[in-house]
Amino acid sequence: MNEREMLLKKIGTYKFAIVDIDIFLDTHPGDSEMLALRNRYQDEVRPLVEKYEAQYGPLTKHENQKNTWAWVKDPWPWDMEA
């Protein structure tokens, strides 16, 4: 696994943890401990996403700083190189 793949995996791990917390919170909306954990993970993943997008291209279409449309760039998630 190269550096890009390692960073992407780390981001994916955080995002998945957040998704799992989300569906827990859907049935336990008053659970402050899980809410705090969700906020912590959000804070921790944000700089990783910024670092990834600056180096390798966008994960969502929110950001496009460059003067070409970086969204179209390979790899796409189903590619072996992703």
Partner 1 sequence: MFVYEKQLQYPVKIKNTNPALAKIIITQYGGPDGELGASLRYLSQRFSMPLPELKATLTDIGTEELNHLEMIGSIVYQLTRNLSEEEIKKAGFDAYFVDHTTGVYPAAANGTPFNAFAVAVKGDPITDLHESLAAEQKARTTYDNILRFCDDPDVIDPIRFLRAREVVHYQRFGENLRLLTDKLDSKNFYAFNPSFDRQCFKKK
Nearer to partner 1, 20 or 36 (CB): 20
Nearer to partner 1, 24 or 41 (CB): 24
Instruction: Indicate the angle between helix axes 32-56 and 3-27, nearest 10 degrees.
Output: 150
Give the integer Cα–Cα distance in Å for 6 and 78. Answer: 17
Q: How far is the CB of 28 from partner 1 (least distance, A)?
A: 8
Nearer to partner 1, 19 or 36 (CB): 19
What does the binding site for partner 1 look like in residue numbers (CB under 8 A)? 8-9, 11-12, 15-16, 19-20, 22-24, 26-29, 58-61, 71, 76-78, 80, 82
Helix (H), strand (E), coil (C) string for 35-69: HHHHHHHHHHHHHHHHHHHHHHCCCCCCCCCCCCC
